[in-house]
Amino acid sequence: MSESPSVEMRVAALVSGLDSCVMVGLLAREYSEITPIYVRAGLRWEDAEIRALNNFFGALAEDVVQPVVEVHLGVGAFYGTHWSIGGVDVPDTNEPDDAWYLPGRNLALLSAAAIYGGTHAIKFLAIGILGSNPFPDATEEFFHSLEHTAGLAMNTTFHVLRPLQGMHKADVIRAGGAFPIELSLSCASPVEGKHCGVCGKCGERRGGFIQAGILDPTDYVESIPV
């Protein structure tokens, strides 16, 4: 019988779209056990995103990657009529970064991962933050503070891993060249499980492939200039 993975080599990794899929693939090369954590918060793209994640991890076929753990955390009371909940239109590729900001989202996600980690003896938490993230919950100060506070709350020591922190979308796509990234979903308004091709997330994905100089294998319902 094989030995259980060392506590020091286990990671609870927050997963969602292309970036975090690549992140898990990279972590699988260094750690003995990766538990993908998917936080369901009642956002409009979640059903399609979790299907895509399961397809991606199935094709990735890494023994160290465990089945996705779903954590349910409703945010309707926080965000009200925000476009991510439904109702108003999803921002398109021409909208500024601020249009995509969900205040406190990283706080909610990492808190969920920390509680899971604290109850499953996992000290490493991973999040797919890119170097281009301009928001206050993506700063060094925030992550250090979260490690300290979550550690106090769970009576342990946490380390927040950010393997993509120095990267932009094109860098992530290049780094994920050996992974089945065509199966990942990066869309805020999916149509029958496919990328809409119009929203800002689709625009960022398409632009990343262009900048990376790699043929985009994604199936978009519509195609607009980026």
Nearest to 100 by CA among 171, 20, 203, 18: 203
pLDDT band at 226 (very low <50, low <70, confident <90, very high): low
Side chain identity, residue 129: I
Tell me the pTM. 0.86
Assigned CATH class of 7-91+103-186: alpha beta
Domain coordinates in residue numbering, the chain: 7-91+103-186
pLDDT band at 92 (very low <50, low <70, confident <90, very high): low
Q: Give the mean pLDDT of 199-215.
A: 93
Q: Give the mean pLDDT of 83-105.
A: 60
pLDDT of 2: 38
Side chain identity, residue 142: F
Report the C-alpha gap between 166 and 130 in whole angstroms. Answer: 6
Share of the chain above pLDDT 90, in %: 66
Q: Give the mean pLDDT of 4-30.
A: 89
> What are all long-range contacts of 205-212, with beta carbons under 8 Å and residues at least 24 apart?
205/18, 205/169, 207/169, 208/168, 208/169, 208/170, 208/172, 208/173, 209/170, 209/173, 211/168, 211/169, 211/170, 212/169, 212/170, 212/171, 212/173, 212/174
Q: Give the mean pLDDT of 28-38.
A: 96
